[in-house]
Amino acid sequence: MKISIESNGEVTIFELNNSNASKDLLAQLPMNIEVENYSHNEKIFYPPKKLSTSNTPMANAKNGTLAYYAPWGDVVMFYKDFGSVSGLYELGRCIENCENIKNMSGIIEIKVLKK
């Protein structure tokens, strides 16, 4: 399962794991949504519906990790190493153009990539 995220004319590709949270995110795509800066190492967005964290592994976030922070209901794209924290679940990882995460801004377009 792969998704593309386009921002400012640049496309970044993520490969999702087979977790319930990843499947919940896929079910909401495609979407156009605002991305926000958070801290010094991540970009976040809030999907319309919360994701189920059952059968979803905890994240040990590194550069390129795609995660879900359940307490706030936001999806997180890390562009620097972070580590782990309670409530942070792994959705997948960046596999192409990961350097673009840091520059994402405004409205991003998220789509499922066909096999």
Residue 114 confidence class, pLDDT cut points 50, 70, 90: confident
CATH number of the domain encompassing residue 69? 2.40.100.20
pLDDT at 115 over 80: no
Residue 34 confidence class, pLDDT cut points 50, 70, 90: very high
85: containing domain:
2-113
**Spatial distance between the Cα atoms of 51 and 20, rounded to a whole number of angstroms:** 8
> Count of CB atoms within 10 A of residue 107's CB?
13
| Phi, psi of 91, deg, nearest 5 | -105, -30
What is the per-residue burial (b if ≥16 Cβ within 10 Å, else e) of 35-48? Answer: beeeeebbbbbebe
Give the total number of structural domains in the chain. 1
